[in-house]
Amino acid sequence: MENAPDAVFWVDRSARIFRVNATACRMHGYDAEAFARLSVFDLTGEYENTDWDGLWAKLNHDKRVSFESHHLRRDGTRFPVEATIIHVVSNRKECCACFIRDITARKKAEERLLAAHAEVSALKERLARENVYLRGEIDDLGGLSGGIVTEDAAFQGVIERARRVAPTGSTVLLLGETGTGKELFARMIHESSPRRDRPLVKVNCAALPASLIESELFGHEKGAFSGAVARRRGRFELADGGTLFLDEIGELPAELQPKLLRVLQDGVFERVGATESIEVDTRLVAATNRDLAVEAAKGAFREDLYFRLSVFPLHLPPLRERAADIGPLVRHFIEKHRPRTGSLVRRVAPRTLDRLKTYSWPGNVRELENIVERALILSTGETLDLPDFPERRAETPAPAPADTRPEDSAEAPPRTARQRPLKEMEKEAIREALAECNGIIEGPKGAAARLQIAPSTLRDRIRRHGLG
Predicted confidence (pLDDT) per residue in 177-204, tens digit: 998 999 999 999 999 999 998 889 999 9
3-state secondary structure at position 404: coil
- Report the DSSP beta bridge partners of residue 8: 99
The pLDDT value given to residue 101: 93
- What pLDDT, in 10s, does the model give residues 364-376? 999 999 999 999 9
pLDDT at 135 over 60: no
DSSP letter for each residue of 216-230:
HHH-B-TTSSTT--S
Is residue 319 within 8 Å of 358, Cβ to Cβ?
no
Domain 143-315 belongs to what architecture?
3-Layer(aba) Sandwich (3.40)
What CATH number is given for 418-465 in this structure?
1.10.10
- pLDDT class of 413 with cuts at 50, 70, 90: very low
CATH 1.10.10 in the chain, residue ranges: 418-465
- pLDDT class of 126 with cuts at 50, 70, 90: low
What CATH number is given for 7-102 in this structure?
3.30.450.20
Contacts of 142 (CB under 8 A, 6+ apart): none
Residues above pLDDT 70, as percent of the chain: 87
The pLDDT value given to residue 327: 92
Average pLDDT for residues 85-111, to the nearest whole number?
A: 90
Is residue 331 within 8 Å of 369, Cβ to Cβ?
no
Which residue would you say has higher pLDDT here, 128 or 436?
A: 436
CATH 1.10.8.60 in the chain, residue ranges: 319-378
Taking the C-alpha atoms of residue 425 and residue 143, their distance in angstroms, rounded to an integer, is 41
243-269 burial: b if 16+ Cβ within 10 Å, else e: bbbbbbbbbbeeeebeebbebbeeeeb
Taking the C-alpha atoms of residue 294 and residue 448, their distance in angstroms, rounded to an integer, is 19
Taking the C-alpha atoms of residue 259 and residue 236, their distance in angstroms, rounded to an integer, is 12
Contacts of 285 (CB under 8 A, 6+ apart): 171, 172, 174, 186, 189, 190, 243, 244, 245, 246
Domain 319-378 belongs to what architecture?
Orthogonal Bundle (1.10)
Q: What angle do CA 183, 335, 137 make, to 5 degrees?
A: 35
pLDDT at 358 over 80: yes
The pLDDT value given to residue 48: 60
Contacts of 243 (CB under 8 A, 6+ apart): 186, 189, 190, 193, 195, 198, 199, 200, 201, 282, 283, 284, 285
The pLDDT value given to residue 224: 83
The pLDDT value given to residue 49: 59
Residues above pLDDT 90, as percent of the chain: 37
CATH 3.40.50.300 in the chain, residue ranges: 143-315
CATH 3.30.450.20 in the chain, residue ranges: 7-102
Closest CA to 394 of 371, 414, 364, 351: 364
pLDDT at 303 over 50: yes
